[in-house]
Amino acid sequence: MNRRDSLKFLAGAAAFAGTAGVPGLNRALAQTPFTLPPLGYANDALEPHIDTKTMQIHHDNHHAAYVNNLNGLVEKWPDLAKKPIDEILSNLSATPEAVRTPVRNNLGGHWNHTFFWELMTPGGSSKPSGDLNSAIDATFGDFEKMKAAVKAAGLGRFGSGWAWLGVGKDKKLAVFSTANQDSPHMEGAKGVIGVDVWEHAYYLKHQSRRADYIDAWWNVVNWDKAAANFKKATA
Ligand code: MN3
């Protein structure tokens, strides 16, 4: 997402829910180039599928840390605040070597988590519709087979990372996973849905049972947002 999209999201989310988010960081909005976007829903909105404490720590601590680190990195590499996020992630070799690894980790983390919060919603539709649904059927056979492929990608990721349904350079749907905070851009792809399989995303509720977490996560996927992501990726 570019900075303009991010700001639009911030404005929309702030109007949507006065209770969400982190007042301290919102106050800093005008002074810092990177800001933590509010969730757009309450920490307990995704219960019982994603628990309140996990949402709170994940957003207010983990995501906030990536944002804070980025603001520190801007001092070392001012272009970080000027270039579109997608552009930097798509071409990391253009990032100065001295800051490349922290930019990769923290900008990837910021992009991935912003995408992830927007992709979840309390009580949305349980299945995709329209073009995305047709593309899933054409590519995987049916919705359940796509879900199985995403789950396998998430379970197959050793250690920390993400599992994605994305659109590749060939404009076709594909399931893949990334390590750490690498984003779909780094694979030359665009995300449609993505599930965080770092332990911090599920350990409080599910402990080591990553499979149970992925099964529960399907209940909170915002398929309208996924359809919009698909439309953008295939445009
Ligand atoms: Mn995470």
CB 50 within 8 A of CB 216: yes
How long, in residues, is the chain?
Answer: 235
pLDDT tens digits along 3-20: 444 444 443 333 333 333
Per DSSP, the three-state class of 132 is helix
pLDDT tens digits along 23-63: 333 334 435 799 999 999 999 999 999 999 999 999 999 99
Whole-structure pTM value? 0.86
* CB neighbour list of residue 52: distance below 8 Å, 6 or more residues apart: 43, 44
If you measure from the C-alpha of residue 225 to the centroid of ligand 1, how many angstroms do you get, rounded to a whole number? 19
If you measure from the C-alpha of residue 117 to the centroid of ligand 1, how many angstroms do you get, rounded to a whole number? 10
* 234 has pLDDT over 60: yes
Backbone phi, psi, residue 106, to 5°: -85, -35
Token pair 């399989």 in the structure block, residue: 197
What domains are defined for the chain? 48-235 (3.55.40.20)
Token pair 């690498």 in the structure block, residue: 182
Tell me what pLDDT residue 17 has: 35
* 188 has pLDDT over 70: yes
If you measure from the C-alpha of residue 147 to the centroid of ligand 1, how many angstroms do you get, rounded to a whole number? 20
CB 173 within 8 A of CB 145: no
Tell me what pLDDT residue 32 has: 75
pLDDT tens digits along 62-96: 999 999 999 999 999 999 999 999 999 999 999 99
If you measure from the C-alpha of residue 194 to the centroid of ligand 1, how many angstroms do you get, rounded to a whole number? 11
**Average pLDDT in the 212-224 region?**
97
Amino acid code (one letter) for 18 = G
If you measure from the C-alpha of residue 84 to the centroid of ligand 1, how many angstroms do you get, rounded to a whole number? 22
If you measure from the C-alpha of residue 198 to the centroid of ligand 1, how many angstroms do you get, rounded to a whole number? 6
Residues 138 and 42: their CA atoms lie apart, in Å, by: 36
Tell me what pLDDT residue 27 has: 32
If you measure from the C-alpha of residue 138 to the centroid of ligand 1, how many angstroms do you get, rounded to a whole number? 31
If you measure from the C-alpha of residue 214 to the centroid of ligand 1, how many angstroms do you get, rounded to a whole number? 14
Which residues have their alpha-adjacent CB atom under 5 A from ion ligand 1? Answer: 196, 198
pLDDT tens digits along 125-175: 889 989 999 999 999 999 999 999 999 999 999 999 999 999 999 999 999
Which residue in 87, 117, 92, 90 sits closest to 4, CA to CA? 87
* 2 has pLDDT over 90: no
Label residue 91 left, alpha or beta by phi (over 0 means left) and psi (-120 to 50 means alpha): beta
Residues 77 and 94: their CA atoms lie apart, in Å, by: 12
CB 47 within 8 A of CB 75: no
pLDDT tens digits along 92-139: 999 999 999 999 999 999 999 999 999 999 988 889 989 999 999 999
Tell me what pLDDT residue 31 has: 55
* Cα atoms in the 13 Å half-sphere on the side-chain side of 30: 1
If you measure from the C-alpha of residue 125 to the centroid of ligand 1, how many angstroms do you get, rounded to a whole number? 24
